[in-house]
């Protein structure tokens, strides 16, 4: 189904670092090794449970030593919390050459690969992928994907042209202003900085005479 039947890919189920290193050292040296996940690996060199700071550091150090001595690329997969932080010890972030976040939202079939750390290149580039029946595929024109459900005549919506690294991306800005029944009007923001919205509203009130003191403001970057 995925079209990888004839590719030189080998799979193994193991969490002990010493056994993993012995397996990949037996035979042809792999060009790429993917370990999922770093929180489940353990090594005999550390006397603690998997997922602890000691085990994660020792396991990562062992794999990094293998990568430096052989030239193989090592990908350590780690889980993240609901807040978007790497779950468990974050010590690995300071040891590796690059940190990439693979993000997605429920109800959408696209995924975004975002660079957080990169010792050998920029950190403002993104990759956009779409989940299909044959697995993930690259999206050459992400703007078309993001605006695929847009209704051109919808009031309160506009298209904004932004930049993600060297890639131009079109996104839809949705805004709604409604009379408020609260003493303090609501300012609800999704996908943007709430403080910047407050600053823009203050500028509109001070220089354009538009009053928002009795209105709720909702902003969504789709």
Percentages helix, strand, coil for the chain (3-state, rounded to 5) are 25, 35, 45
Sign of CA dihedral 203, 206, 207, 212: positive
What structural domains and CATH numbers belong to the chain?
A: 17-146 (3.40.50.300), 157-221 (no CATH)
- The DSSP 8-state label assigned to residue 183 in this structure reads S
The tokens for 166 are 């060297």
What three-state secondary structure class fits 211? coil
Residue 82 has pLDDT above 80, yes or no: no
* Confidence (pTM): 0.72
**pLDDT mean across residues, the chain:** 87
For 171, residues 6+ apart whose C-beta sits below 8 A from its C-beta are 143, 146, 147, 159, 160, 162, 221, 222
Band of residue 28 on the pLDDT scale cut at 50, 70, 90:
confident
Residue 105 has pLDDT above 90, yes or no: no
Band of residue 218 on the pLDDT scale cut at 50, 70, 90:
very high
Residue 136 has pLDDT above 90, yes or no: no
Give φ, ψ of 23 to 5 degrees: -70, -45
């Amino acid at each position: 189904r995925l079209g990888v039947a004839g590719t030189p890919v080998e799979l193994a189920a193991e969490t002990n670092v010493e056994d993993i290193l012995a397996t990949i050292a037996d035979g042809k040296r792999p060009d790429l090794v993917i370990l999922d996940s770093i929180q489940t690996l353990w090594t005999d060199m550390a006397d603690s449970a998997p997922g602890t700071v000691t085990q994660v550091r020792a396991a990562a150090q062992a794999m990094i030593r293998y990568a430096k001595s052989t030239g193989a690329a090592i990908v350590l997969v780690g889980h993240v919390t609901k807040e978007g932080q790497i779950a468990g010890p974050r010590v690995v972030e300071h040891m590796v050459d690059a940190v990439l976040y693979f993000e997605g939202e429920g109800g959408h079939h696209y995924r975004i690969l975002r660079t957080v750390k990169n010792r050998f290149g920029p950190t403002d580039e993104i990759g956009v992928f779409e989940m299909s029946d044959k697995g993930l595929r690259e999206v050459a024109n992400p703007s078309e994907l993001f605006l695929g459900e847009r209704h051109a005549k919808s009031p309160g919506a506009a298209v904004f042209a932004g930049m993600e690294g060297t890639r131009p991306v079109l996104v839809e800005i949705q805004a709604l202003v409604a009379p408020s029944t609260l003493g303090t009007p609501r300012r609800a923001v999704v996908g943007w900085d709430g403080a910047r919205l407050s600053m823009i509203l203050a500028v509109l009130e001070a220089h354009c005479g538009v009053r928002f003191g009795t209105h709720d403001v909702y902003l969504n970057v789709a």
